[in-house]
């Protein structure tokens, strides 16, 4: 099997999907839902999914490492979103005749969006007009930034194996997501021996996400942040200095780490 962790394109659903003409529970403003049928995707049979390794699909975000003010920074996804007035106009447009006809909503990018941190940058590939990044079809400007004391866990794709994954069967998978503690996850990604990745999201089964107390929160945590081994100049209340106070300690759950 190839090394896990390389994701170069969209991952196919384990079942064939169908589009339902009803509001999405996954994306705001989306007027349709993509649901799984009980028919297996032909890719599944070609890739011998029965011998594949099932792993937890994490509800994560893309990360980006780049220099900022001469130092390497780990950036997390932070989209620039409309303010309340602009969001209201956008929603009205989405439900209007013009919106249904596929006409484009006109944004004022200087005034229609909420403020973002000074370190915010827009993502690569975002369309620009006169030097200003333009919103996508959801009214967001994809970008990267930070918030106050965010805990970003950089997890290599595919490292969290699922120990009790059921057979690749619609009803068995549905029951696992609904009734198993390990099933409190966003979804499953199967890593096949030929390198193919196959996924199943809770939304494909019409199930809600996020859920209360997901399985990831139940995993034990060991803090290993020893700043005595490095030269550093973090601000006093940075997460690095905060975590260094817990260096060597183990917690039963991620939520048990309290900073105050």
pLDDT higher than threshold 70 for residue 152: no
Note if the pTM is more than 0.75: no
pLDDT, tens digit (0-9, with 9 covering 90-100), for 165-198: 999 999 999 999 999 999 999 999 999 998 899 9
Contact predicate 217/255, CB 8 Å: yes
Task: Measure CA of the first residue to CA of the last residue in the chain; give whole Å.
Answer: 45
Q: What is the pLDDT of residues 32-82, one digit of tens each?
A: 888 999 999 998 889 999 999 999 998 666 667 777 777 777 777 788 999
Distance CA(142)–CA(134), nearest Å, equals 9
Q: Residue 143 — pLDDT band, cuts 50, 70, 90?
A: confident
* Position with higher pLDDT, 207 vs 4: 207
Inter-residue contact 223 to 200 (CB < 8 Å):
no
Neighbours of 181 (CB within 10 A): 9
Q: Are 185 and 56 in contact (CB under 8 A)?
A: yes
Cβ neighbours for 216, distance < 8 A, ≥ 6 positions apart: 56, 58, 160, 185, 254
């Amino acid at each position: 099997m190839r090394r896990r962790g390389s994701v170069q394109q969209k991952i196919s659903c384990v079942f064939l999907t169908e589009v339902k003409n009803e509001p999405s529970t996954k994306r705001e403003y989306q007027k349709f839902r993509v649901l799984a049928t009980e028919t297996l995707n032909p890719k599944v049979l070609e890739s011998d999914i029965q011998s594949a390794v099932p792993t937890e699909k994490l509800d994560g975000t893309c990360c980006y490492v780049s220099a900022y003010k001469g130092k390497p920074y780990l950036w997390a996804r932070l989209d620039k979103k409309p303010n309340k007035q602009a969001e209201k106009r956008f929603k009205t447009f989405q439900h209007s005749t013009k919106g249904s006809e596929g006409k484009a909503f006109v944004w004022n990018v200087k005034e229609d969006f909420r403020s973002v941190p000074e370190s915010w940058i827009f993502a690569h590939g975002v369309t620009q007009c006169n030097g200003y990044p333009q919103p996508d079809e959801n009214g967001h400007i994809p970008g990267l930034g930070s918030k106050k004391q965010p805990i970003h866990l950089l997890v290599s794709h595919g490292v969290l194996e699922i120990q009790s994954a059921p057979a690749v069967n619609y009803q068995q998978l549905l029951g696992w997501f609904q009734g198993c503690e390990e099933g409190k996850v966003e979804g499953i990604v199967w890593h096949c021996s030929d390198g193919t990745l196959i996924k199943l999201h809770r939304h494909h089964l019409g199930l809600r996400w996020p859920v209360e107390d997901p399985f990831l929160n139940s995993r034990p945590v060991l803090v290993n942040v020893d700043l005595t081994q490095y030269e550093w100049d973090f601000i006093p209340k940075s997460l690095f200095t905060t975590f260094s106070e817990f260096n060597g300690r183990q917690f039963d759950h991620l939520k048990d780490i309290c900073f105050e």
